[in-house]
Every structure is written in C-alpha cells, then in structure tokens.
Amino acid sequence: MRARRSCLSVPGSSEKMLVKAGGLGADEIVIDLEDSVAPGAKSEARELVCRVLAEGGLKGGPVSVRVNALDTPWWRDDVAALVERAGPAIDSLVVPKVERAESLIEVERMLDEHGGAMALQALVETAAGLLRLAEIASASQRLDTLILGYADLAASLGRANPEESPGRWLYAQEALLVAARAAGVEAIDGPYLAIGDEEGLRRWAEHVRDLGYDGKWAIHPSQLTVINQTFTPDDGEVERARAILAALDRADTEEARGAVQLDGKMIDEASRKQAEQVVARAGR
C-alpha cells in the first residue's frame, strides 16, 4: 500500500495549477471538478482535465479526480469522459457527498460499462452519510478510501465554524475510522480551510493522526509540509517499533510465551501489530 499522507486538492478549471501540482510534494493529487468549479464552467473544466491528463501534463504522485455529486447533471459526463479520454492517468475517482451504498454501486456500474479500471474513494460529508458508513464502506470492491469532509457536514448538522476544534468532530471521526478499518480501506481526514493558520492545521493533523487516520487533504501547497511531517513517523517512533519487533522475535526464538518486557514495559502480539504498522508507514 502506498503512502497517502497528503492529498492536495487542485481546481480542475486552472491549467496553471494543474501542471504545477505534480511538483509540490503531495502524496496524491486530487483534481476537483466539483466545488471549486462554477456551474457554468463544468464542461470546460472537464475538457481541460481530460486534455492535461491525456497529454501527460501532470507529473508527480498518483492522481485522483473528484467528480460531481450524483444529484447533479454533470457526474455521468464526468465519469464517461475521464474513463474514455484519460483513464490510464487516473488512479481513482472521488465520489462526493456519498450517503448510501447505492451511490458507489451506480458509479461502479458505469465504470464497468465504460471499461474504467480506477478505484473509488467515498467522501462522506452529510448526516445521512455518517449514519450509513458501514454499508458505504463495504459497497464496492473498488473502494479503497473513506474521506471525512467537514464544511458540508457542518452545514448538514447546522454547526457554525467547522474549524473551531477538532475534538468537536470526534463522533464523526471515530465513526469513519471504525468503518474504514472494518472494511480494510484507508481513512483520510478532510481539509483544514484556514490556509494561513499553520498552528491550527498542525493541531488538527496531530489529533486525527493520533486517532489512527492515514492522512489529510490539503487545499493549498503551503499546507503540505505540516501534513507530511505529521503523518510521517519520526526516528524515535521507528527505532522503538524496531526494538519491539526485535524483542518479540527473540522471545519467539527462545520459545517464550505470552508477553515479554522491553524497557520495563510489557509488550505482546498487539504490540507487534502496532510496531509493524509504524515500520510500514515509515517505509512507504
């Protein structure tokens, strides 16, 4: 599994930003055909994205495209054009405002009809979506990621100032994480909208990292350094994880049973799993 610490959202209506995005250091580039594109510019943006991708104009990390929501008149044209004109350049499609399993099934069906090989990511950003997270997470074999979106979720719940505190969203964060882990897919946190607030971004990123999230969206290149740093295990974490694995391996060799001690603390098979995850993240 590749690293997806940072996912940079780029407007699909700006050729300059699309071409520049590949060299900015994001683990994934998410081209947006939805919220950042005005209704009157949807067709033009779709054409631009297909052309830039088909011509190989976007270098760097894996590329995903956020299509328009399924209750709009644009999403079918989005999927058809992307598959037929730029399919090999696209790793996955991000489906916004997913509220039920049928939404992903419908997109999957259309991909099958057009021969699209890309994966799916589900962006959950409404109260209805939160209630159906388990069925959404298991809706499609193509699904590899659940994403929590705060701005639309705040509107759905009637909350003001979605960036006030990451702890206010603990229920939603935990619910999405549990659904993702149960389905074996990644859990990605949505964007922090206060672009100039580096301290707030770091606090939020550390919060969701400690919960167990794999990464976070960015809406501006200036946010990438903080996000990448936050979701990369530091040298101390990696050293500790390797020491745990070595101690447990020695215990296995010596036919020890159950937990063993390392630096005065008990470690066991659960510790092994956690340590393996840290080493794997560092390797990616």
* Domains of the chain (ranges, CATH numbers): 6-230 (3.20.20.60), 235-283 (no CATH)
Contact 46, 80 (CB under 8 A): no
pLDDT, tens digit, for every residue of 152-180?
999 999 998 888 789 899 999 999 999 99
Question: pLDDT value at position 197?
Answer: 95
Please give the pLDDT value at position 247: 64
Q: How far is CA 195 from CA 38, 200, 252, 270, in A?
A: 21, 9, 49, 38
**Residue 93 pLDDT:** 98
pTM for this one?
Answer: 0.88
- Each residue of 160-175: b (16+ CB within 10 Å) or e? eebbeebeebeebbeb
Answer for the pair 153, 131: CB distance below 8 angstroms, yes or no.
Answer: no
Q: In the predicted model, is pLDDT for residue 147 greater than 70? A: yes
At 255, the pLDDT band (50, 70, 90 cuts) reads low
CA 113, CA 203: separation in Å to the nearest integer? 44
pLDDT (mean) for 34-48: 97
Rounded to the nearest 5°, which phi and psi values hold at 27? -70, -30
Select the more confidently predicted residue: 241 or 99.
99
Instruction: Please tell me the predicted confidence (pLDDT) of residue 180.
Output: 98
| Torsion on CA atoms 20, 22, 24, 26, rounded to nearest 10 | 140
Mean pLDDT confidence for 269-276: 66
For 11-27, the pLDDT digits (tens) are: 999 999 999 998 899 99
